[in-house]
Structures are given as structure tokens and as C-alpha cells.
Amino acid sequence: MSTQQQKVAIVTGASQGIGATLVEGYRKLGFAVVATSRTIAPADDDGVLTVQGDIADPATAERVVAAAVERFGRIDTVVNNAGIFVAKPFTDYTAADYAAVTGINVAGFFHLTQQAVPHLLAQGGGHIVSITTSLVDSPDARVPSVLASLTKGGLQSATKSLAIEYATRGIRVNAVSPGTIKTPMHAAETHEFLAALHPVGRMGEVSDIVDAVLFLETAPFVTGEILHVDGGMSAGH
């Protein structure tokens, strides 16, 4: 066990939207945070270390994990928040679309989580939480999104698989499955259309997703859970 008692979370895609708010949320829980994205700026908070890099590159995962251990001495939580969403008819996806979406959504999750797990085990356990999408469970003809389902669906299955693999070793593995959330990813002129995709008739807020992640962080008996925060999308239309 590390002699440093402050818990440490890694958050990917941390420069804006859900990721930036997750950094704030984990700080309020008392965690130190290693925040990474391609464009992230240095933090003016001693409890936040920022690391620039493309999460699709395995070298970024190595740098992020090494930086966490060097600066804070331990890793307790990994939040796989980085993700991209490209909605196109199936036959319109390009090779570049495929490479970008699988790189960030799948390779990013795989390499960082794999690098971090030995450090979680060294603390006697920890938490891995990923952000997926409700379209995995509830495809919608208005939003053709095979690459989201292929990649985030894989993440959802991997969440359950890892939860079971590590259940006796103190590592919990969960996911939050959002509907469409008001983030910089969605232009304001699309909001009315996106709101109508949800049975409750509105988009979600960033705080809805952050609150769900922090609930899972503080729920010791919950593992292998896919927590839908989607205004009823997963229940049907």
C-alpha cells in the first residue's frame, strides 16, 4: 500500500463538457486527479495534473499512468470518458471514421485500463467506470450510429466481463449509459431535434452524468452495472 492516502482518479477527455466537470466532481470527493485530453491546458490546482495526448495512442496511456504514479503515488479510479460519436448511414462511414472512432472509444479504453489495473490491485482495489451511450441498447432509426454501437457496445460488454474477472480482487467496473447530453459536441440548432429523441422530451445535463459516475464511485456493492441516464430512451419509445 502507498503511504499517500489521498485517492487518485484518472479522467480522459477531460478538457471540456462531461470530462471537465468530472474533474471538478472528483476533486470535491477529495481525490487528486490526472486529467488528460489532446488539448488540455495546465491546471492551477495542485490536486490536478494535466497530461496532453491522444488517448488512441498506447503511448499516451503509458504516460498518463506513469505521471499519476510519479506525482501522486497511486491510482484508485479510471474514468474512461473520452469518446467520439459519428452518426452516418452505415455505407457512408469512411476508413478515417472507423479508425478515429475505434481508436478513441475502444483502443483508448483498452490501453489505459490495462495499464492502470496493476496499480489498482496494488491499492487492494479500485473502480473503473466508462461512458457508453443508450443507442447501444435502443437503436433509433433517426440516428444511424453503427460505429457508436460497435464501439460503445463493446465497452458495455467489457464492463461486465471485467467486473466478473476482478470481482474477488476489489476492483469494481461500471458504466454510465447516457442519452444525448448538452455538451459542446452538439450545436444549439440541433437541440430541439435531440430533445425529442428522449421520452421525457429534453436533453440531459452534464451534471446528470457526473452525478451518476460519482454515485457509482461511492457504491461499494455495485459492480458490472450499466447505469442508464437517458431520459427513458432505454425503456422504449
Percentage of residues of the chain with pLDDT beyond 90: 95
The lowest-confidence range among 105-109, 157-161, 183-187 is 183-187
Q: Confirm if 209 and 229 have CB atoms less than 8 A apart.
A: yes
Helix-strand-coil percent breakdown of the chain, rounded to 5? 45, 15, 40
Q: Across-strand partners of 35?
A: 11, 50
Per-residue model confidence (pLDDT) at position 184: 80
Assign 4 a pLDDT band (cuts: 50, 70, 90): low
For domain 8-231, the CATH class is alpha beta
Q: Cell 450499466 sits at which residue?
A: 226
pLDDT classification of 23: cutoffs 50, 70, 90: very high
Compute the residue count for the chain.
237
Mean pLDDT on 127-155:
95
Structure confidence at residue 186 (pLDDT): 86
3 pLDDT exceeds 60?
no
pLDDT of residue 191: 93
Q: Per the structure block, which three cell numbers stand in for 147?
A: 460505429
Which residues are within 8 A (CB) of 72 and not within 5 positions of it... i.e. 6 or more apart? 4, 6, 8, 32, 34, 49
Contacts of 138 (CB under 8 A, 6+ apart): 230, 233, 234, 236, 237
Q: Mean pLDDT across the stretch 149-168?
A: 98
Mean pLDDT to the nearest integer, 138-145: 92
Q: Cα–Cα distance between 13 and 36 in angstroms, integer?
A: 6
Long-range contacts of range 160-166, CB-CB < 8 Å, 24 or more positions apart? 160/224, 160/226, 162/113, 162/128, 163/223, 163/224, 164/224, 166/117
Instruction: Give me the mean pLDDT over the 173-190 stretch.
Output: 92
Q: Determine which of 17-26, 56-65, 190-199 has the lowest per-residue pLDDT on average.
A: 190-199
Q: What pLDDT, on the 0 to 100 scale, is given for residue 185?
A: 80
Residues 115-130, mean pLDDT to the nearest whole number: 97
Q: How confident is the model at residue 40 (pLDDT cuts 50, 70, 90)?
A: very high
What is the pairing mode between strands 48-52 and 171-178?
unpaired
> Mean pLDDT throughout 27-41?
97
- Flag whether pLDDT at 2 surpasses 50: no
Q: Helices 17-28 and 206-217 sit at what angle, rounded to 10 degrees?
A: 40
At residue 28, does pLDDT exceed 90? Answer: yes
What integer best gives the mean pLDDT of the chain?
A: 95
Strand partners, 79: 11, 129
Reported pTM = 0.96
Name the percent of the chain lying above pLDDT 70.
98
